A and B are shown apart, each in its own frame.
Chain A
Amino acid sequence: MNCLEFRQLKLCDPNTEDAEANRHRDVCIACTQFEQEISGLDKSIHQALSVAVPEGLAARILLNRSLKQPQRKPTRWLWLSMAASFFAIVSVSYQFYQDTPLAEPVLAHINHKPHEFYGAEHRAIGNEQLQSVLDRFGIETNIENVVYAAVCPVDGDEVAHIVIKDGKDQYTVMLLPQYSPTKTYDIDDGMWRGYISPHPAGAIAVIADSNHTHAVARLKEVKGKYWSAFNLVAGI
């Protein structure tokens, strides 16, 4: 390692413990001084960035959360009504089991991995990578500009999680083979907008960031396009 490489390394990661860098530092007085200078700069930056955290912040956060979900102490009357509601829900759920909207687990997954949705610096991935994901589900496609594709767990099942750049818009598409809804459901939780629809491969979710008005306006258009872009491999 030479002086230039050492300094470049220290400027981007001063605390890195690199054996080669340490060997260079041990024999170079100028770089030892440089390391001390950067270390001092970081200490000062830390002091400059430090700001007092308001007292009781953690308590207010916990209080706020509990106020948003008020809990009632169950009375006998409440127990009876809860039991009645439970049986009503079970019977209705049984009837409409096949129509489970799936929105919550799908959105939970996207919220857990939002970086797969974002990133202007995403580049299209290769067809092989995309197809290796789709092969798992016996699906083929001719879609282009896929920037992310992975087999992901949603609600305990494996799904194909795909992110597509469509012009200046970006959409998450999920193929959910274990589900077979009988109609299309809207998704709108304030953060994400889209649809979950029946599909020959099970179900397909097409989702846009609700803040991106242009992408949201095109949802209906792209929903149809993506629906027909993913097909079951013949014979499956």
Chain B
Amino acid sequence: MKDKEVFYANLVEAYSGWLYRYAYWLCGEKATSEDLVQETYLRAWRFLGSLKDEKSAKSWLTTILRRENARRFERKQLEYSDVELDTLPSEREDFDTRPEILALRNALRLLPVKYREPLVLQVLEGFNLQEIAGIFDIPRNTVATRLHRARQKLRKQLEGEEELQSKK
């Protein structure tokens, strides 16, 4: 029991920050993000015995959090595609507020969820293509295509924005 508690505390220490940031980009609300992380860890505690390989803990926790978020939406009877990070502007104080970063954040907000999610996993936490494929349960090539399109879309949006700025 003692070992389980120590192991669990290590998991909380190591990954709660990452899970919070990921949750934030899934739901766009601070309070909901923390709730999601709390629920994730409660479930993880319950099924900790099923985690055989410590190295897969981060992916395992991320998968649980994704699932908790999906359950939240199902409870609200909303479509997953309806996720809009509308609350972000009101919580700006938590972000880098330089204009170019704000423009990029806006572009990220407009990115379809299926492109934004793998990008968050890759850029923010360094998940590789295989790990992302495992979390989403999709082929590795599909992940590669989505990441490719995500960056292309961001580049296009940012180029468009630059053109607009230069015309003003």
Contacts and interface: CB of A to CB of B under 8 A. Distances in A.
A168 interface: no
B120 A49 contact: yes
A60 B124 contact: no
Chain B interface category by residue count: 35 or more
B110 interface: no
B63 A115 contact: yes
A211 B129 contact: no
Contacts, number: 130
Interface in A107-121: 107-109, 111-112, 114-116, 118-119, 121
Most buried by B among A8, A46, A53, A211: A53
A65 B74 contact: no
Interface stretch (A36-44, A73-81, A135-143, A224-232): A36-44
A30 interface: no
B147 A13 contact: yes
Most buried by B among A44, A48, A54, A60: A48
Contact of B37 (A61, A114, A118): A61
Interface string A44-65: 1111111111100110111011
Most buried by B among A49, A52, A54, A119: A49
Contact of A44 (B100, B137, B152): B100
B75 to A, nearest CB: 8
Interface string B31-56: 00010011001110101011110000
Chain A interface category by residue count: 35 or more
Interface in B50-100: 50-52, 60, 63-64, 67, 70-71, 74, 94-96, 100
29 contacts: A11-B148, A12-B145, A12-B147, A13-B122, A13-B128, A13-B144, A41-B155, A42-B123, A44-B100, A45-B104, A48-B101, A48-B104, A51-B95, A54-B30, A57-B17, A58-B17, A60-B34, A111-B47, A111-B64, A112-B47, A112-B51, A112-B60, A114-B67, A115-B134, A115-B136, A115-B137, A119-B137, A211-B70, A211-B74
Interface of A: 8, 11-13, 15, 38, 41-42, 44-54, 57-58, 60-62, 64-65, 68, 107-109, 111-112, 114-116, 118-119, 121-122, 191, 211
